[in-house]
A and B are shown apart, each in its own frame.
Chain A
Amino acid sequence: MVMLRNKVRGFAAPRSAVLAGLVALAACLGYGQAVNSCVDCHSTMPDPLGVSSDKFSQDIHAQKGLTCTSCHGGDASSYDPTVAMGSKAGFKGKIDRRKIPDLCGSCHSNPNLMRQYDPSLRTDQLAEYHTSVHGKRLVAGDAKVAVCIDCHSVHDIRPPSDPRSTVNPVNVATTCSRCHADANYMKQYGIPTDQFAKYNTSVHHDALAVRGDLSAPTCTTCHGNHGAVPPGVDKVQNVCANCHVFQAQMYAKSTHSKVFQDKGLPGCVVCHTNHGIHMPSDAMLSTGPSGVCMRCHAPGDHCDRARASILANLTQLDSTIKQADDALRLAESSGMEVSEARLSQDQARDALTKARVTIHSFQAALVDQDIQVGMKIAAANLKAGKDAMVERNHRRIGLGLCFVAIAFMLAGLWLYIKKLES
């Protein structure tokens, strides 16, 4: 507060004439509108004190009728700094970082108050925040941890649904990375700072940022937002299970689930990693560099044989589907009607996807059941494609024979006409 007053005094002395002029001009331009001396003055100041009326008008709070005094106190109707920012007017000045969650929570934790703005808005953010690593550290006196304004920004807070919002799903990872990817800033906490770089290479980032699927996970989907904590080794599968339901159900019943739990291994992360999760491929079952099974299993053991069997079957189905696709495409480009087979190729692909999901049961027999369903359909479609090409060839032979017959008829007619006319 003292610092702020000193800053204001520093401005007031040498620039009072200019400032007074600008304030008067702003007041004149705003004739007929509600007086807001805070914005009128602060819009002429450089950062960090500058807040333009344009910027503040974008803020959801301003749009809902709140003003600077709602958070900072003071009297926005007076152009006298000693009155506007006087203690009599309850002026709070710059809000201490440690008090920010409670200040925001004074409204956002009040269901009766929030209901009038948005009845569906949750009011447990502050309670959740206090359970988070950020919240606990803040209470312990660490002012470097994230408070509300670090994620939501300040003076131009937009609702999360706004694509320009710092907490819009597409922007969340970048917002978190402002601290978590800064090695110097995070030095004292001893946690990695490569999460953002890894996430940017992940299949989840691709789905969210490239394909625009807003349901795809970002940092807060797994870690929570206001109650952000690391998921914990034994809870990882629960986090993944929010979306990957079937895989989680099969994994829960598998032998791996118990073994991983006993050994304190982090479930899904053991094979798929965490932040840099790439698109899974059948190569994960291989013995090559992308293979994950042989990191734990010994060559030639029962599990290795099951792995090899699943991989061989998956490869065979995938290859048959591709062959059928090629055969049907060729038949279609030759004008043959194969749309039914083309449509049922989706069923074969579905069976392949299901088999890949069933891998999480780690039972070769179960995977094979799905594979056989897909193989039956793909083989029938492959045959349909080949049959169509045989049929095309028959048609062309038939056409050739017709041409010969027609040529004979034409020659016969021509000769007959000539004979008639001779």
Chain B
Amino acid sequence: MFAALYRWLDDRLHLDGLIEPFRHKTVPTHRLSYWYFFGGITLFLFMVQVFTGILLLLYYRPSANEAFESVQYIMTRVQFGWLIRSIHSWSANLMIFTAFVHMFSVLFLKAYRKPREMTWVSGMLLLFLVMGFGFSGYLLPWNKLAFFATTVGTQMAGQVPIIGQPMMVFLRGGPQVTGATLTRFYGFHVAVLPMLVTVLIAIHLFLVQRQGMSVPPKVEKAWAANPSLRREMKFFPNFLLRELMAWYVAIATLGALAALFPWNLGVKAEPFASAPAGIKPEWYFLFMYQTLKLIPSKVWIVDGEVLGILGCSLAGLFWVLLPFFESDKPARTRTWITGLGIFALVFMIVMSVYGYVAQ
């Protein structure tokens, strides 16, 4: 029956022509191939987010008076609402985690090199957008922790010279975090960010398909010296079936997390209440938050917070443009870029742990 349906569609849409490149597409096989799966897992988790997000939209109400109660309703009254909401929250965190893993694996496997600079840039922009998803989505349940974390987060954005204050007012929908901020964040979370991410994912995937998988320099060198060592597998179905297995593992992980550790709802936000002690952002912003905390209030004549925000922004920009710092002497460049990558990874882990344990 499927074959008949396919023939019927193929007669009209010429599907064979579309599928043909995938039939010939191959994926290099070597001892580091498993790192290739993380991009696909991130994509899968994004699809989970879209699916669960749409289901949550059916009940969620984006206003300061109703947001908390509507999430509470989803968690307690809606059939499997607890599962959908917990999977959405856990999947968001796992997606950010796998996106970071993917970014560092690309960095250490040197997959950003020419001709894949645009893939790296689109990937970095996707990473920032995914963090934006996390930041905007965190406020939506309108609970106490989210309210104050958003207050602190938008306050930091306000420290950026010149554009900081207008940007903070734009993000908050006014001088303070209020119901207007919630509505705004909701708009970013369900309309603006998904649109941008969808376009960027399309570009990112197109570039990956167009340029194929990168092979690490050492493996490439070994293969060049001895072509008989070269190993490849078909993208369809061999690699895709393996990717499917990884997706099943991701589903099992999400299910276990949602069933054993349902995402906490917390206490409803009270804008006039005092901020709870030891308020911290989500784990993926913790390294930045802790770094900013460690910078003295004044560094020479410059305000410490302004300096920190500027430093973080410049570091982010530098990271986006990293492939363009590759020189004509690749060996030398690769060494310092790898060193920088190791430093960044260690710095992020140490600062996150420090931020987690610090009072």
Contacts and interface: CB of A to CB of B under 8 A. Distances in A.
Contacts of A406: 248-249, 251-252
A399 B87 CA distance: 13
A50 to B, nearest CB: 47
A337 B262 CA distance: 8
A414 B264 CA distance: 36
A417 B238 contact: yes
A336 B248 CA distance: 26
Nearest to A336: B262
A346 B251 CA distance: 40
A395 interface: yes
Contacts of B82: 337
Interface of A: 335-337, 339-340, 395-396, 398-399, 402-403, 406, 409-410, 413-414, 416-417, 420-421
A405 to B, nearest CB: 9
A403 B241 contact: no
Majority SS at the chain A contact face: helix
B260 interface: yes
Nearest to B81: A337
Interface residues of B, number: 25
26 contacts: A335-B260, A337-B72, A337-B76, A337-B82, A337-B262, A339-B267, A340-B72, A340-B76, A395-B83, A395-B259, A396-B259, A398-B259, A402-B252, A402-B255, A403-B252, A406-B249, A406-B252, A409-B248, A410-B245, A410-B248, A413-B245, A413-B248, A416-B241, A420-B237, A420-B241, A421-B233
B110 to A, nearest CB: 28
A409 B264 CA distance: 31
B242 interface: yes
A120 B264 CA distance: 52
B244 interface: yes
A421 B256 CA distance: 32
Contacts of B83: 395
A395 B252 CA distance: 13
Given A339-B265, A409-B248, A413-B241, 4 more contacts: A336-B262, A403-B252, A406-B251, A410-B248
B261 interface: yes
B75 interface: yes
Contacts of B233: 421
A335 B82 CA distance: 10
A144 to B, nearest CB: 51
Given A337-B76, A337-B262, A420 B255 contact: no
Nearest to A341: B76
Interface in B218-265: 233, 237-238, 241-242, 244-245, 248-249, 251-252, 255-256, 259-262, 264-265
Contacts of B262: 335-337
A416 B240 CA distance: 12
Q: 8 shortest A-B CB distances, which residue pairs?
A: A335-B262, A337-B75, A399-B259, A395-B259, A406-B252, A413-B245, A417-B241, A337-B76
A420 B260 contact: no
Nearest to B237: A420
A335 B75 CA distance: 11
A193 B249 CA distance: 78
A403 B82 CA distance: 19
Nearest to B74: A337
Nearest to A396: B259
A408 to B, nearest CB: 10
A335 B252 contact: no
A421 B83 CA distance: 38
A399 B255 contact: yes
A337 B259 contact: no
A403 B255 CA distance: 9
A335 B264 contact: yes
